[in-house]
Amino acid sequence: MVHRKGATPAGSDELGIIPGSMSQPGYVIRGKANPESLSSASHGAGRVMSRTKAFTTTTRSQMNKILQDNGIQLIGGDLDESPMVYKNIEDMIAAQSELVTVLAKFSPKIVRMADANRKEGRED
């Protein structure tokens, strides 16, 4: 049994989705069953800062500007999921060429996140 924390299954011909942030594209992928990765790939771009730091270093107006500039409607969500707290998804996908084949790329237009007041108990 493989327990994947921060990873998604990428077995032979296994289909999956690797999402970006609220404002970055997501990818439909096919796994390559790389044994060195335990037939796994990343499950997203990864964070550049903790949730706690996101609340103290980003603003709602910064987040809203990015979403508006990209034509994205946000339902729910909070600063801990701001687009600027994530790594560049394009770099992360490029680094996984031995793990997955990209089949399609899609861009978000409506993003539904957990409501801000429903995140009690979340950890960094």
Q: CB count, 10 Å around CB of 5?
A: 5
Q: How far apart are CA 19 and CA 17, in angstroms?
A: 6
Rg of the chain over all Cα atoms, to the nearest angstrom = 15
- Among the options 4, 30, 43, 51, which is catalytic? 43
List, in order, residues 6 or more apart from 22 with CB less than 8 Å away: 63, 66, 67, 72, 74, 77, 81, 82, 83, 108, 111, 113
Task: Report which residue type is found at 70.
Answer: N
3 is catalytic: no
**Could you give the residue numbers annotated as active site?**
43
